[in-house]
Amino acid sequence: MAETKKKSKPKAKSKAKSKATYAFFLGCIAPLRYPGIEKSTRDVCNALGIELVDFNDASCCPAPGVIRSFDRKTWLAAAARNLALAEKQGVNILTICNGCYGSLADAAHELNHDEALRKDVNAILAEIGLEYSGGTEVRHFADVLFNDIGLDAIKKAVTNPLELKVATFYGCHFLKPTDVKYLDDPENPTMLDDMVEATGASSMFRKDKMMCCGAGGGLRSEFSDFAMKFTEENLKNMKDGGAEVIVDICPFCHLQFDRGQQELKGYDMPVLHLSQLYALAMGMDQKDLGLDAHLTPVKL
Amino acid sequence: MPISMTATPDMEFVNEIIANGGDTVNMCFQCGTCTASCPSGRQTSFRTRQLVRMAQLGMKDEVLSSEELWYCTTCYTCTERCPRDVAIVDILIAMRNLAVASGNMFEGHKKVAKSLMKSGHTVPINDEVKAQRAALGLAEVPPTVLASEKAKKDFDKILEATGFNKTVGE
């Protein structure tokens, strides 16, 4: 961003400001429930020339639907700690989860636009020797691939074209709220469909495509029956639309569909994170996708 | 959900919501776009417009003790469609914060909060996932607060500073 045009001597340690280097923010559900998503992301990024460095010492983002609902101040301070850690490392953040993306991008937006608030939060961060000055950019894996790498480069990297009929699942916090980020039309987006079709797969039309999976906002943790009603309606629409695989960009939606189908019974649609779909399309070993962690069997 | 008032209206309620991030609460003119758009309202007795109106009317006790306040998944469909740019999710979150601060918290939610306090993550690590990680060539324990005592202590300090333990009533 604020890089001087001249004198950018390539130094071995100067990872900072290099556009394609990100601190890989793992979150909770991917590394602790679906490690194949983490592995596939590392492999796909490596293949596409995106350098991921470890994001050491990070905590939960913290989860926007629950922790922010309980105490906004805690949510913001803990998110600011994560943002400050990345800033200290001199790299921007890459997330693979809509919840993490939602929390970190929303928190960064608030802190970057409200000096008084940033001062308050920094007073807390000072207790652990950190400061957030507003310099961390938060990106989602799907955003970086679509906007920085581009569909042409992705198509070139596909060595194992997939003939799958896919229900794309954007989730909520990837596109909304649009006053914080605007990646695509929140009512009728196409970027994930384009990304899925870049592998040779077909994105199938369905009713109510942008309906929430039901897991967020503390519904899964307390009112699971209601959450499952969202999930079932989505699954029915996916099935009616002729889809045979769900492709998501959020481990929480992923979990809700993967585990939810086993809880509901009668549905058996494999669930893949975009990173896993790409790993498959780029010819990587299927056992590196970590599919044994999925409760709904993935037979492709 | 009660639609008749059982207690004296608390006209400070709306100011508490504003102070907690719901600063557009008075902008709502009750068109109902939110309720009509809400995927939760289709499945449950959650009526977005009604909750906002109850807030405007100072029905603090009714709102803070209502289960429906917790039926929103924060999908933001209402916020995107609101013709008055009311940040509805922010208003609901402000009211949830006030509910938790007044001691109204569900057990399932306490469990999530306690997991965060205990490990720094909302889901716990276990042996099964450690083995899965190792089989994939990943570090058994991810390089987060889980792998560093100092980082976890720093994280704890943040939660102490904001009084999270007290807020969730541990």
What ipTM is given for this predicted complex? 0.95
Locate the chain B residue with the closest alpha carbon to A287.
B136
Kindly identify which residue of chain A lies nearest to residue B42, measuring between CA atoms.
A230
Q: Hunting for tokens 């913001």 — which residue is that?
A: A76
Do β-strands A271-273 and A245-248 pair in parallel, antiparallel, or remain unpaired?
A: parallel
Read off the CATH number of the domain in which B50 is found.
Answer: 1.10.1060.10
Would you identify the CATH topology of the domain A151-293? Rossmann fold (3.40.50)
Do B18 and B95 have their domain in common?
yes
Half-sphere exposure of residue B17: CA atoms within 13 angstroms, side-chain side = 33
Number of C-alpha atoms within 13 angstroms, CB side, residue B111? 9
* Yes or no, beta carbons of A60 and B106 under 8 Å apart: no
Residue B83 and residue B112 share a domain = no
Do B88 and B125 belong to one domain? no
Is the pLDDT higher at A17 or at A212? A212
pLDDT of residue B1: 56
Question: Nearest-CA distance from B26 to chain A in Å?
Answer: 20
Using pLDDT thresholds of 50, 70 and 90, give the confidence band for residue B154: very high
Q: How far is A199 from chain B (nearest CA, A)?
A: 24
Which residues are within 8 A (CB) of B30 and not within 5 positions of it... i.e. 6 or more apart?
A: B49, B52, B53
For the stretch A169-196, pLDDT in tens is: 999 999 999 999 999 999 999 999 999 9
Chain A residue numbers with beta carbons less than 8 Å from the beta carbon of B74 are 64-65, 69, 172-173, 216-217
The distance from CA A259 to its chain's CA centroid, rounded to whole angstroms, is 19
A21-141 and A151-293 share one CATH topology?
Answer: no
B130 shares a domain with B72: no
> Which of A94, A141, A138 has its CA nearest to residue A278?
A141
Taking the Cβ of residue A69 and every Cβ of chain B, the question of whether any pair is shorter than 8 Å is answered with yes
Is B63 part of a structural domain of the chain? yes
Q: Of the candidates B108, B151, B164, which has its C-beta nearest A222's C-beta?
A: B108
Residue A9 has pLDDT above 70, yes or no: no
Which helix (H) or strand (E) is B149 found in, with range? helix B149-162
Give the mean pLDDT of B42-63: 96
Number of domains in chain B: 2
| B80 in the same domain as B46 | yes
**Do residue B53 and residue B80 come from a single domain?**
yes
**B157–A127 C-beta distance less than 8 A:** yes
Whether A100 contacts chain B with CB within 8 A: no
Q: Measure in Å the smallest separation between the Cα of A268 and chain B Cα atoms.
A: 23
User: Whole-model pTM?
Assistant: 0.94
Three-class DSSP category at A215: coil
- Taking Cα atoms as reference points, which of A243, A250, A251 lies closest to residue A209? A243
Do B71 and B38 belong together in one domain?
yes
Q: Is the Cβ pair B144, A125 closer than 8 Å? A: no
Do the chains contact at B73 and A172, CB–CB below 8 Å? yes
Task: Kindly report the nearest CA distance between residue A7 and chain B, in angstroms.
Answer: 34
A74/B167 touch (CB, cutoff 8 Å), yes or no:
yes
| Residue A189 forms contact with B (CB below 8 Å) | no
pLDDT at A19 over 70: no
Closest CA to A213 of A272, A171, A275: A171
Tens digits of per-residue pLDDT, A110-159? 999 999 999 999 999 999 999 999 989 999 999 999 999 999 999 999 99
Answer whether A272's CB lies under 8 Å from A193's CB: no
Q: Is the pLDDT of residue A10 over 60?
A: no
Same domain, B122 and B50: no
> Where do the domains of chain A lie?
21-141, 151-293
B77 and B150 in one domain? no
B97 and B113 in a single domain? The answer is: no
Q: Give me the domain span that covers residue B94.
A: 13-101
Q: CA of A215, closest CA in chain B: separation in Å?
A: 7
Residues of A whose CB is below 8 A from B162: 71, 73-74, 77, 124
- Summary mean pLDDT of chain A: 94
Look at A32 and B125 and tell me if their CB atoms are within 8 Å: yes
Residues B113 and B37 in one domain: no
**Residue A151: φ, ψ to 5°:** -65, -35
Q: Do B122 and A28 touch (CB under 8 A)?
A: yes
Q: Which CATH topology does A21-141 take?
A: Glutathione S-transferase Yfyf (Class Pi); Chain A, domain 2 (1.20.1050)
Could you give the CA distance from residue A249 to residue A272 in angstroms, rounded to a whole number?
A: 9
Q: Which of A31, A35, A217 is facing B72, going by the closest CB pair?
A: A217
**Looking at the domain assignment, is residue B88 inside a domain?**
yes
Which ranges in A127-166 belong to alpha helices (H)? 141-143, 151-157
Same domain membership, residue B132 and residue B111: yes
Query: A255, A27 in Cβ contact below 8 A?
Result: no
pLDDT at position A16, please?
A: 43
